[in-house]
């Protein structure tokens, strides 16, 4: 009996604060977001109460138990196969919608605890909710909460504690839609009273964000702010600090000193090899770790913060409205803007986020475009730094090429791949002041993912490079690649080295060209060609791995075998033009 933990299932619409409540109950972070599909895996955590231990399970946001979506399937299966306590979380401002789900749960034989969350926002627009009345009418416990402030959490825990016998799942009976709706409406009569007090400014701002004219100004402003925050603060100041002060002055020399003293007592080749594997020119610490932690981590952190701000404020769905028509031509709809923008931060994470897209075709197209033409923040930082030192027209050409490639390849793949266009339907949550606690939690959750998933892959990539160098394969590969690099792209032979490294380490590739340009080894045109190719080049190790995970090895191989020659092809054309 000591091992058996009673399960607590958190169900509810997307956007109601399930993940926040999960965090409050279990102390664990999950990816907290406002759109369906972002609770990707079932998060599980523990809750300890006087009556015993509970296992809290966060389900994907779903609207109706009977819906045919993946989320509906997962949750139905979960509830059918497991005994447990069902806690339904509802948005105070949208009680009617949530009540439909409550009624379905009741019909299915469950006795949920209904949590009415985000009461502060309801209050702001003048809504009052009579929870005891609703509780009496429904016959189930009703708790009001403001989860982000921890209000109502103790009462919720008490209710879970004293619920007693967990509900026995029964097969759900079919109820008419119309009937449920009127039933729900009558249940809410007198429970919800509204005044018309509204936050006019925020509502106005929300309208501007999706306005056909002003909306674009706001997009431009958002991009500019993004550039300043991630580019200047992240890529500039933070990277400088971590790379030079922390790694350059302390960690790298420290590691080198340590290993020098530990290992150089012997002149044997084997020991020498081990030494170099860690602190040599392709060392795990000197190169691998410093890349992952000193360069990418600060940049990606600032990006995640900026993205979380856009997410929490409710701006992202409005951005989706602005670009929906544009995206139509590449076989996607406005929703795809979410992974695409996230891709500017980290393509690997963005590829995971493509799960929110409804059809496989959309997911494939977006994955391909991310891998091909969306430069991640680490790369972008170096690229922009380089373009800052070259005449403006080079940046213009680069931008033009990248966007054209995006549109062209997107258009072509939408024709080639089978599948219909998926209509665009998205909720626009009210524009709100982002809550610091939310932003912090979302950023930390993403960072945790990054540290666990991406950094090990950077280490792996560095190790592979080390092996290539140790076995003198690097030089032979360079020789092999020469004809491609020299005749097709018009670059000096040494450029092949940068491409090679760029395969495993995106930023090093770009940095390699930066050095060459700096030392006058590349003309402006040559630098432009090199930068275009390295941008379109195959995705980094972590990205390829994720594509394999999400779509299988065959798809990943097909994508890489298209991207690789295509990048050189475009570079070749540029060389020919200029």
Partner 1 sequence: MEAIPLSQAKAGGYYKIVSVRKNGSGLLERLAAFGITKGDQLRLTQKYPAFVVKVGETVLALDLEYANAITVTSSN
Which residues contribute to the site for partner 1 (CB under 8 A)? 62-64, 67-68, 93-94, 96-97, 100, 125, 177-178, 181, 206-207, 210-212, 215, 317, 320-325, 328, 333-334, 420-430
Looking up tokens 């296992």 gives 55
Nearest Cα to 62, choosing from 28, 25, 97, 20?
97
- Cβ closer to partner 1: 164 or 176? 176
Minimum CB distance to partner 1, residue 411 (Å): 18
Kindly state the tokens that stand for 188: 């809410």
- CA–CA dist 283, 252 (Å, integer): 10
Tell the smallest beta-carbon distance from residue 492 to partner 1 (Å).
46
Nearer to partner 1, 422 or 437 (CB): 422
Q: Nearer to partner 1 by C-beta: 192 or 546?
A: 192
Cβ atoms of 55 and 7 within 8 Å: the answer is: yes
Nearest to 221 by CA among 315, 89, 325: 315
Enter the DSSP assignment of 450: H
Q: How far is the CB of 322 from partner 1 (least distance, A)?
A: 6
The structure tokens listed for 435 are 């809550």
Give 192's strand partners: 129
CB nearer to partner 1: pick between 316 and 498: 316
Q: How far is the CB of 171 from partner 1 (least distance, A)?
A: 21
Question: Ramachandran region of residue 562, left (φ > 0), alpha (ψ -120 to 50) or beta?
Answer: alpha
Distance CA 430, CA 439 (A): 17
Nearest approach, Cβ of residue 37 and partner 1 (Å): 13
For residue 181, the minimal CB distance to partner 1 (Å) is 6
Closer Cβ to partner 1, 430 or 456, answer by number: 430
Are 537 and 503 in contact by the 8 Å Cβ rule? The answer is yes
Evaluate whether 192 touches 198 at the Cβ level (below 8 Å): no
Q: Given the complex with partner 1, which of 279 and 323 has the nearer CB atom? A: 323
Torsion angles phi and psi, residue 63, rounded to 5: -100, -45
Candidates 33, 8, 174, 16; CA nearest to 99 is 16
- The minimum distance between CB 179 and partner 1, in angstroms, equals 11
Calculate the CA 117 to chain-centre distance: 25
The nearer residue to partner 1, 41 or 68, going by C-beta atoms, is 68
Nearer to partner 1, 430 or 492 (CB): 430
Nearer to partner 1, 96 or 417 (CB): 96
Q: Assign residue 109 a region: left if phi > 0, alpha if psi is -120 to 50, beta otherwise?
A: left
Yes or no: say if 361 and 326 are a contact pair by the CB < 8 Å rule. Answer: no
Say if CB 539 and CB 371 are below 8 A apart.
Answer: yes
* Torsion angle of the four alpha carbons 292, 293, 298, 300, in this order, in degrees rounded to the nearest 10: 30
CB of 204 to partner 1, least distance (A): 12
Please give the structure tokens belonging to residue 90.
């509802």
Sheet with strand 6-12: strands edge to edge: 43-49, 52-58, 6-12, 84-91, 113-117, 142-144
Q: How far apart are CA 252 and CA 244, in angstroms?
A: 10
Residue 63 vs 478, nearer CB to partner 1: 63
CB of 55 to partner 1, least distance (A): 28
Q: How far is the CB of 415 from partner 1 (least distance, A)?
A: 18
Instruction: In whole angstroms, give the CA distance from residue 421 to residue 36.
Output: 19
CB of 168 to partner 1, least distance (A): 27
Q: What whole-number distance in Å separates Cα of residue 546 and Cα of residue 347? A: 10
Rounded CA-CA distance 365/113 in Å is 41
**Cα–Cα distance measured from residue 432 to residue 424, given in angstroms and rounded to the nearest whole number:** 23
Nearer to partner 1, 168 or 213 (CB): 213
H helices present in 210-296, as ranges: 214-226, 239-240, 252-263, 269-279
Other C-beta atoms closer than 10 Å to the C-beta of 569 total 13
- Closest-CA residue to 289 (of 330, 327, 339, 252): 252
Question: Given the complex with partner 1, which of 107 and 453 has the nearer CB atom?
Answer: 107
Give the shortest CB-73-to-partner 1 separation in angstroms.
14
Q: Enumerate the β-bridge partners of residue 87.
A: 10, 113
Return the SS3 of 466.
Answer: helix
- Of the pair 243, 312, the CB lying nearest partner 1 is at 312
Least distance from C-beta 39 to partner 1, angstroms?
Answer: 16
Which CB sits closer to partner 1, 321 or 397?
Answer: 321
Distance of closest approach, residue 353 Cβ to partner 1, in angstroms: 19
């Amino acid at each position: 009996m000591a091992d058996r933990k009673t399960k607590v299932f958190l169900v509810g619409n997307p956007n109601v604060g399930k993940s926040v409540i999960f965090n409050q109950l279990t102390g664990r972070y999950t990816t907290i977001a406002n759109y369906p599909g972002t609770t990707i895996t079932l998060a599980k955590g523990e809750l300890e109460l006087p009556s015993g231990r509970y296992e809290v399970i966060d389900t994907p946001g779903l609207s109706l138990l009977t819906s045919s979506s993946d989320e509906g399937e997962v949750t139905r299966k979960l509830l059918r196969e497991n005994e447990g306590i069902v806690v339904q979380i509802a948005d105070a401002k949208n009680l009617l919608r949530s009540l439909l789900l409550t009624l379905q749960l009741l019909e299915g034989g469950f006795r949920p605890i209904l949590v009415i969350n985000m009461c502060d926002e309801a209050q702001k627009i003048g809504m009052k909710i009579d929870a005891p009345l609703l509780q009496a009418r429904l016959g189930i416990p009703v708790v009001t909460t403001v989860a982000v402030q921890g209000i109502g959490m103790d009462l919720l825990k008490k209710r879970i504690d004293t619920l007693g016998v967990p509900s026995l799942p029964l097969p759900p009976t079919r109820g008419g839609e119309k009937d449920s709706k009127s039933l729900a409406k009558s249940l809410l009569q007198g429970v919800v009273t509204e005044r018309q007090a509204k936050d006019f400014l925020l509502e106005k701002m929300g309208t501007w964000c999706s306005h056909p004219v002003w909306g674009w100004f706001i997009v431009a402003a958002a991009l500019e702010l993004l550039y300043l925050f991630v580019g200047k603060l992240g890529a500039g100041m933070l990277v400088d600090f971590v790379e030079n002060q922390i790694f350059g002055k302390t960690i790298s020399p420290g590691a080198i000193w340590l290993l020098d003293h530990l290992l150089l007592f012997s002149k044997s080749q084997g020991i020498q090899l081990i030494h170099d594997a860690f602190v040599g020119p392709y060392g795990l610490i000197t190169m691998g770790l410093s890349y992952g932690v000193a360069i990418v981590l600060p940049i990606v952190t600032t990006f995640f913060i900026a993205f979380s701000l856009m997410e929490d404020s409710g701006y992202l769905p409005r951005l989706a409205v602005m670009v929906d028509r544009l995206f139509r031509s590449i076989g996607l709809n406005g929703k795809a803007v979410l992974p695409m923008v996230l891709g500017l931060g980290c393509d690997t994470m963005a590829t995971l986020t493509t799960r929110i897209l409804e059809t496989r075709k959309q997911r494939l197209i977006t994955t391909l475009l991310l891998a091909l033409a969306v430069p991640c923040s680490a790369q972008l930082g170096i690229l922009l730094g380089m373009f800052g030192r070259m005449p403006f027209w080079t940046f213009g050409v680069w931008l033009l090429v990248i966007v054209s490639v995006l549109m062209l390849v997107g258009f072509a793949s939408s024709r080639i791949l089978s599948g219909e266009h998926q209509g665009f339907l998205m909720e626009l949550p009210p524009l709100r002041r982002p809550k610091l606690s939310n932003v912090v939690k979302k950023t930390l959750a993403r960072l945790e993912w990054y540290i666990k998933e991406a950094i090990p892959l950077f280490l792996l990539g560095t190790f592979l490079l080390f092996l290539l160098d140790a076995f003198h394969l690097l030089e032979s590969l360079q020789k092999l690649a020469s004809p491609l690099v020299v005749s097709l792209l018009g670059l000096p032979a040494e450029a092949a080295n940068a491409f090679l490294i760029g395969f495993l380490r995106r930023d090093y590739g770009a940095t390699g060209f930066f050095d060459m340009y700096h030392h006058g080894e590349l003309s402006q045109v040559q630098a432009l060609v090199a930068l275009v190719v390295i941008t379109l080049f195959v995705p980094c190790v972590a990205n390829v791995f994720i594509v394999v995970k999400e779509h299988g090895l065959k798809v990943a191989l097909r994508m890489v075998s298209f991207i690789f020659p295509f990048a050189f092809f475009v570079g070749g054309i540029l060389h020919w033009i200029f």
